[in-house]
Chains A and B, each alone.
Chain A
Amino acid sequence: MDDRVVIAALPEEIDLANARGIASIVAAAVPNDAVGLVLDLTATTYLDSSGVHLVFDLAARLMARQQTLALAVPETSNVRRVLELVDVTVVAPMEPDLAAAKERARG
């Protein structure tokens, strides 16, 4: 299937304690033949710079494999503010829900 998108549902809180582990699990879960990856942050209420780093890190890896990355972040989420602060949209589009993010990931 050439439109396959992997969806990673991220936990409520992402910080130094789990960010690295999440990055490697998610990276390993994306096969070479997948079109793209969606990070589902709809349940996430806290994200710090290690979480931001996680997003940028995954974006860089996917870019090297010519795969796409999209984020699902609700409009009202506190997480959105942090991601906007670091201008995350330069590496991945932010969509308000999972369906929209999936569409974006498919390209």
Chain B
Amino acid sequence: MAYPRPGAAAAPEVHALHAADARLQHLSAITEAALAHLDLDDLLETLLVRLREILGVDTIAILLLDPEEGVLVARAAKGLEEEVERGVRIPLGDGFAGRVAAERRAIFLPEVTRDNVVNEILIEKGVASLLGVPMLVEGAVLGVLHIGSLRPRDFSDDDAGLLQLAADRMALAIERARLVHSERTARAAAERRADELVQLQAITDVALGRLSLDDEVLSEMLERVREVLAVDTVAVLLVSAEGDELVARAARGLEEEVERGVRIPIGKGFAGRIAAQREPILLEEVKHGDVLNPLLREKGIRTLLGVPLAVEERVIGVLHVGSFTPRRFTPVEIGLLERAAERIALGVDRARQHTIAELLQRTLLPAQLPQIPNLEIAARYLTGADDAHVGGDWYDVVVLPKGRVGIAIGDVVSRGLRAAAVMGQMRIALRAYALDGDGPGPVLDKLDRLVRGLGEREMATVAYGVLDPADGTLEIAVAGHLPPLVVPPSGEGRLLECVSSRPVGVVAARRYESSTFQVERGETLVLYTDGLVERRGTAIEAGLRDLASSVASLAGRAPDELCDGLLAAAGAGTVADDVAVLAVRIPAEAAKRLELHLAADPGSLAVMRRALGDWLRRIGMDEASAYDVMVAVGEAAANAIEHAYGPSEAHFRLEATVEDGSLVVSVMDEGRWRPARGSHRGRGLAMMEELMDDVQVDSTDRGTAITMRRRIAGRT
């Protein structure tokens, strides 16, 4: 018998096929339509029912080739459903279907016998005749389609042609369905994977954006790892400060590890070996000897996978996940855990560096601004949102002789720990030069020499000015720093055009020159670092112009509020760079009331005299009377300082007001009044009484208050 070769079935030379083809038209329509929405099983079911009808046969079956095993597996059948139910498997080359597939041609069995079929079901069912064709796609065997008749039947060439045509189409349909399926699976897998990565990335990026990797964030990251890898436990252990142990830092599903403060020697046990070998370790079946931590065994962890946490080749800890049931980890999952470890390690390391740098920075900045007579001072320092941008910005206020005040701001160009350290040195050096009595220019000259001598290849921008609150004179020298801003009581600010010069630390060149300006009463002088004006994509000049004009909305505010307003406007804390702002205002008019809060230290006496003297002048007290008051108040203050109580830092307060033409001054401390000890202190009290109209000493358990009155001449 001559049967058409597979693939030649559609050739037009067999005109009978045209009719058959026509019969197949609606089958074809079904396949096209079916593909769109049916899954493979529904599709085959539909096709077989249709085909059995068209061909008028009793049985029809599809066996698909499992290429790995080399067998045909019954996939769908009509009239022979048992074949599928029993999962009939025919080796390639064996029996009827096996031969069709192996020989890749149609085979007709007019009389089915035990000799020419291996499938018992065909015999049981009493199939008399069989016709089978290979299902081919691009020359590759996909499976076999066969039809059978319970009565002996001589299948015609037409039948064979038609069956082959149907087989070809079904093969295509199956192939396409498979492709769609595998594509869908692959896409779903890819999407899931991408999703996992996005999830992982989202959580870790949030962590990296945070200023500190606190326990909450770390724990959140671990939870995400647990979800993504579908594991029961996750734990992070970090290398101890001594470097010889791992200490449990955070865990999910294994919280006891952290609570118990589990410590594992490096090199020992599961985690210890990961840290020592710097490689992932997978324990598919956890055995007693594999782990050191009894907790892992107590919890019944069956499978463990751990990876090192490393920063630039340096192992800082271990991340491990565990499962209560035995499971396998695919290379992709191991890779995923390694990527999570990279991010966690980076987060932990940055958080540590950031914490240290921030701590150093805060330690190196002035703990407290000095109280300066007739000057309102406020300062702020904010670390940048970016962990890498800590350190370097600084400010300082130095009390100088004769009531003048030195104000400084600077920005060390580098960042991080080193910048914070250099900043600390510079601040103290500048303070020392300023106290030596040097003017702004010479102070910067000396600072420049110092920084160049540090051998750190460090440079910094600095502005240092000396302000005399009495007359508002400001002498300021600027080394590559942004121009100072003066904010009037109302309206826009003005930038002070100083003689500009190079940053300090760059190169020995001409001396720094200072410029002199006038700061009026009620005006605020603002020194700041570039974090206040720098915006991505904006020129610095534009930033400065914006600053000067936008500050109008803050004009008239007290320095504290002005600083806060400027930082808020700059979005400080959300911008990458750190920011320092120092604002100094000469109050518009004498306060009705003077209040000072000073350390119980002899050094406070001069500060107090300055403040009091200036205030007395401004309330209109004549010079001789003011001097008497200053001596009397000085005695009261010296008394407060002399019996400053206890080893901790003590303070005293001074309050001065005008009541009914009289000056009323009180000096209050938290110590107990000590009666005159020797003639010296007794002399002090006698002097107070001589110099003032009235002196009262109130001593209680909580402290001592000396209240003195003196008539202001020329007033009633």
Chains A and B belong together in one complex: yes
Compute how far the CA of A13 lies from the CA of B627 in the bound complex, rounded to whole angstroms.
13
* Inter-chain contacts of A86 with B (CB < 8 A): 683, 686-687
Q: A15-B605, A16-B605, A52-B683 in contact; A78/B627 too (CB < 8 A)?
A: yes
Compute how far the CA of A17 lies from the CA of B602 in the bound complex, rounded to whole angstroms.
4
Stretch at the interface among B60-68, B146-154, B635-643: B635-643
Cβ distance B186 to chain A, nearest Cβ, rounded Å: 83
**Quick one: which of B605, B624, B642 contacts A78, CB cutoff 8 A?**
B624
Q: Mark B673-689, 1 if CB is under 8 A from A, else 0.
A: 00000011101101100
Judge if B691 is at the interface, Cβ distance under 8 Å: yes
- Contacts beyond the supplied A17-B606, A48-B638: 13 A-B pairs with Cβ under 8 Å: A13-B609, A15-B606, A15-B634, A17-B605, A49-B684, A50-B680, A52-B680, A52-B683, A56-B679, A78-B627, A81-B624, A81-B627, A82-B631
Q: A15-B638, A16-B642, A48-B631 in contact; A82/B606 too (CB < 8 A)?
A: no
Q: Is the CB of B605 within 8 A of A53?
A: no
Question: Which 9 residue pairs of A and B lie closest in terms of their CB atoms, listed nearest first?
Answer: A17-B602, A49-B684, A16-B602, A53-B680, A78-B627, A48-B634, A15-B605, A16-B638, A49-B683
Judge if A1 is at the interface, Cβ distance under 8 Å: no
Cβ distance A43 to chain B, nearest Cβ, rounded Å: 13
24 contacts between A and B (CB under 8 A): A13-B609, A15-B605, A15-B634, A16-B641, A16-B642, A17-B602, A17-B603, A18-B602, A48-B605, A48-B684, A48-B687, A49-B635, A49-B684, A49-B687, A50-B638, A52-B680, A52-B683, A53-B680, A78-B624, A78-B627, A81-B624, A81-B628, A85-B691, A86-B687
* Inter-chain contacts of B627 with A (CB < 8 A): 78, 81
Q: Mark B576-617, 1 if CB is under 8 A from A, else 0.
A: 000000000000000000000000001101100100000000
* Inter-chain contacts of B683 with A (CB < 8 A): 49, 52-53, 86
Judge if B690 is at the interface, Cβ distance under 8 Å: yes
Q: Mark A74-98, 1 if CB is under 8 A from B, else 0.
A: 0000100110011000000000000
Spell out B's residues near A (CB within 8 Å): 602-603, 605-606, 609, 624, 627-628, 630-631, 634-635, 638, 641-642, 679-681, 683-684, 686-687, 690-691
Cβ distance A91 to chain B, nearest Cβ, rounded Å: 12
**Quick one: which of A15, A53, A56, A82 contacts B602, CB cutoff 8 A?**
A15
Of B609, B641, B683, most A-chain CB atoms within 10 Å: B683
Q: Is the CB of A49 within 8 A of B638?
A: yes
Overall SS of chain B's interface: helix
* Inter-chain contacts of B606 with A (CB < 8 A): 13, 15, 17
Spell out A's residues near B (CB within 8 Å): 13, 15-18, 46-50, 52-53, 56, 78, 81-82, 85-86
Cβ distance B602 to chain A, nearest Cβ, rounded Å: 4
**Which B-chain residue is minimally distant from A57 (CB atoms)?**
B680
Cβ distance B83 to chain A, nearest Cβ, rounded Å: 109
Compute how far the CA of A56 lies from the CA of B680 in the bound complex, rounded to whole angstroms.
9
Q: A15-B606, A16-B602, A46-B609 in contact; A82/B638 too (CB < 8 A)?
A: no
Cβ distance A19 to chain B, nearest Cβ, rounded Å: 9
Compute how far the CA of A52 lies from the CA of B683 in the bound complex, rounded to whole angstroms.
9
Compute how far the CA of A16 lies from the CA of B680 in the bound complex, rounded to whole angstroms.
12
* Inter-chain contacts of B631 with A (CB < 8 A): 46-48, 82
**Which A-chain residue is minimally distant from B602 (CB atoms)?**
A17
Compute how far the CA of A81 lies from the CA of B632 in the bound complex, rounded to whole angstroms.
12
**Which B-chain residue is minimally distant from A17 (CB atoms)?**
B602
* Inter-chain contacts of B628 with A (CB < 8 A): 81
* Inter-chain contacts of B635 with A (CB < 8 A): 48-49
Compute how far the CA of A4 lies from the CA of B684 in the bound complex, rounded to whole angstroms.
34
Q: Is the CB of A49 within 8 A of B680?
A: yes
* Inter-chain contacts of A46 with B (CB < 8 A): 609, 630-631, 634
* Inter-chain contacts of B642 with A (CB < 8 A): 16
Cβ distance A8 to chain B, nearest Cβ, rounded Å: 20
* Inter-chain contacts of B691 with A (CB < 8 A): 85
Compute how far the CA of A78 lies from the CA of B432 in the bound complex, rounded to whole angstroms.
32
